[in-house]
């Protein structure tokens, strides 16, 4: 099993402080969230890319890159937002390649609840076409491009259930970062895996009560973690398991739970 931890834009303190914390946990992988204030400039400046690479290289982790998602929407019906979003995710892919991260995670986007249901199809088409061009850039650079399954939301979710995700994966040709907590807000994660397992190359772990996406420490909600591990089967050995909680204490607690299970 390959254990890792994820950064989060809410963490106070520098990237170096987060990486030092991750070092103390004895994990091999770190997922960088490019929405971290300190990392946003890497999306537009080579000098910043170099600066951050120097910081990353002082640690011995392998890195994964989570493309920016705050204010980003690849499915937007607004062409200016859609194009800017595609540009940002492509910059994230280039940054990943620059720091030798071999996997990128992107959100698919949503349709605002203010639009009628009939426009869902158009939004999905927008997302699929943006994701296809991002997949092609990733292929050229030798980076594995993944979309992440969404959680329950007040807006119209386009990639939450297996019925929504599978056709997208097939059309785009990319892989899946399976977020266990997100799946838990829309159904049973272990059941999602029955039809999605073959696409999964990265896993996000956190817990919740089955309704809100609260990123609780594992064991504090109703995620059936044992069931998820069983459903992942043999792939559990080779797939990164990334703890994605919103405080250092919650990350530490979750890691203990995962280690006790395996």
Q: Which is nearer to Zn ion, 6 or 49 (CB)?
A: 6
- How far apart CA 52 and CA 169 sit, in angstroms, is 31
Among 8, 175, 204, 215, binds Zn ion (CB under 5 A): 204
Q: Which is nearer to Zn ion, 126 or 146 (CB)?
A: 146
Interface region with Zn ion, contact rule CB under 5 A, candidates 8-16, 79-87, 122-130, 177-185? 177-185
The rounded radius of gyration (Å) of the Cα atoms in the chain is: 17
Q: Which is nearer to Zn ion, 138 or 146 (CB)?
A: 146
* DSSP one-letter string for 147-213: EE-----SSEESSSSHHHHHHHHHHH--EEEEEHHHHHTTS-HHHHHHHHGGGEEEEEE-B--SSS-
Q: Whole-angstrom distance between the N-terminal and C-terminal Cα of the chain?
A: 9
* Residue 150 binds Zn ion, judged by CB under 5 A: no
* Residue 31 binds Zn ion, judged by CB under 5 A: no
Q: Which is nearer to Zn ion, 136 or 161 (CB)?
A: 161
Q: Which residue's Cβ lies closest to Zn ion?
A: 204
Interface region with Zn ion, contact rule CB under 5 A, candidates 23-31, 119-127, 183-191, 201-209? 201-209
Tokens of 261: 């299970």
- How far apart CA 186 and CA 34 sit, in angstroms, is 26
Among 7, 179, 190, 250, binds Zn ion (CB under 5 A): 179
Size of the site for Zn ion (CB under 5 A): 3
**Are residues 211 and 185 in contact, defined by beta-carbon separation less than 8 angstroms?**
yes
Q: Give the bridge partners for 126, in sequence order.
A: none
| E strand segments, 45-93 | 62-66
Interface region with Zn ion, contact rule CB under 5 A, candidates 10-18, 108-116, 220-228, 243-251? 243-251
Interface region with Zn ion, contact rule CB under 5 A, candidates 30-38, 41-49, 183-191, 237-245? 237-245
* Residue 107 binds Zn ion, judged by CB under 5 A: no
Residue 179 CB, nearest distance to Zn ion (Å)?
A: 4
**Are residues 67 and 89 in contact, defined by beta-carbon separation less than 8 angstroms?**
yes
Enumerate binding residues for Zn ion (CB under 5 A). Answer: 179, 204, 244
């Amino acid at each position: 099993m390959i254990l890792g931890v994820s950064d989060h834009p809410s963490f106070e303190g520098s990237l170096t402080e987060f990486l030092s914390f991750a070092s103390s946990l004895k994990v091999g992988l770190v997922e960088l969230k490019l929405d971290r204030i300190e990392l946003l400039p890497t999306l537009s400046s080579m000098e910043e890319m170099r600066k951050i690479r120097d910081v990353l290289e002082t640690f011995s982790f392998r890195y994964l890159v989570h493309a920016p998602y705050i204010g980003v929407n690849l499915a937007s019906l607004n062409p200016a937002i859609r194009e800017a979003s595609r540009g940002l995710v492509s910059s994230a892919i280039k940054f990943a390649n620059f720091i030798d991260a071999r996997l990128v995670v992107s959100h698919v986007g949503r349709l605002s609840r203010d639009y009628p249901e009939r426009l869902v199809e158009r939004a999905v088409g927008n997302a699929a076409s943006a994701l296809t061009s991002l997949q092609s850039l990733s292929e050229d650079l030798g980076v594995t491009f993944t979309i992440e399954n969404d959680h329950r939301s007040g807006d119209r979710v386009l990639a939450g259930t297996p019925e929504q995700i599978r056709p997208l994966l097939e059309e785009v040709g990319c892989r899946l970062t399976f977020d266990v907590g997100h799946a838990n807000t829309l159904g049973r994660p272990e059941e999602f895996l029955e039809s999605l397992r073959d696409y999964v190359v990265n896993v996000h772990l956190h817990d919740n009560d089955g309704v809100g996406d609260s990123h609780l420490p594992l064991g504090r909600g109703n995620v059936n973690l044992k069931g998820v591990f069983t459903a992942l089967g043999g792939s559990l050995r080779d797939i990164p398991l990334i703890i994605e909680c919103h405080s250092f204490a919650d990350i530490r607690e979750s890691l203990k739970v995962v280690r006790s299970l395996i």
